[in-house]
Structure 1
C-alpha cells in the first residue's frame, strides 16, 4: 500500500496492489505432496516414511515402547507383470497396497519404496509379540485373490520384520535388517513372515 501526496505533502489517497496467491499455494502443495507420496499408490514414499519413523522411534524411546519395521515384497510379481503387462501390474500394486494399508492401526505407516517393495512401520507396541496379529493380517491381505475384470490373479508376499530397539536404533538400519529377514522368508518358500533373528510364520500360522 502506497500513499499518494499532493504538492503540499498532504495524503490524497492510497494505492493498494493485490495478488491472488491461491494457484501458487496449490502448486506448492502439489509439489510437496509429490515429494513425499508415491504417485501410483498414494502411499507415503521413502522420504515420508523416514520422517515418520524417526518421530516414532523418538516417542518409543521416551515411553519405553517398541516399533516394528516390516519389509514387504510380493511373491511372483515379476512373472505376473511379464504375463499380463504393466497396466495389470500397476493395478495389482494399487489393490494390494490398499488392502494392506486397511489392516493398519492409526499411527502406523505403510510406504512404497518402489516396484513391488513396501515397508510398514508399526508403532506403540509394548512387546514384540503385540505385532504378530497385525502382521498376520497384512500377510493374509496380500495373499487374497485379486479380481481384475474377469481375471483372477493369485499373489502372495514375503515379509521380514525387525524391531526397535532389539535390532537397531536408526530407521535405515532397521529397514536393512527387515530387508534381510524378508530375503530369508523368500528363501524359505515365500508367503510367510520372517522375524529377525530368524523365526518363520506362514500364512497358515505354521512356525
Structure 2
C-alpha cells in the first residue's frame, strides 16, 4: 500500500486544521489516520494514483497548513519517501522508479517529549486544546514503523534540518547537519533539488 504523510507547518496544529474543517475531514474520513512524526498526519492508500488524488483533494489545506507532503510507494522503495512533485511525475509516467533515486533530501529525526512512565500506553499529549481534539487520530497496531520505537518510549519524533544530497555510486552521503540517531530520506525532483 502507498502511504501519504503530511508534515504540518510549525505555525499550525495540523490535526486540528484538517479535522476541524468539513471538506478536509470528509476527504480523510475513509482512512485510518496515524501520526508518525510531531505535527503530522499519515494515511495508507491503494496506489500512488490514489495518493496523488487525495493530495489534490486537499490542495487548499496543503497550501495553508502543510510544509511537506510525502508519498511512500513500495514499488519504488520501502524506506525512501517521494516528494509530492516526484510522486506526481511517477504517476504520470514522466519518470520510472529507477529514475527517482538521484536527488534526495535527508531529514534528521529528533526525539521530542518525555518517556512514558510504567503502565502508560505510550501516547504523547500533543493534541490541540479544542473540540477537534476528540477527532485526533490515535495510535493503532497499523501505525507506521517510523513511529513505533518513539511511541514505545513515550516520545514523538520531529523532522529537522533537511540536507539536500545527490546519490553517487548508488550511495547517499551521511547526514551531518546535527547529531541524530535516525534519518528520513525523501527523493525529490531535480527542480526541487536545485
TM-score for the superposition, normalised by structure 1? 0.34
Q: Which structure has the greater CA radius of gyration?
A: 1
TM-score for the superposition, normalised by structure 2? 0.36
Query: Which one scores higher on RCO, CA 8 angstroms, separation ≥ 6?
Result: 2
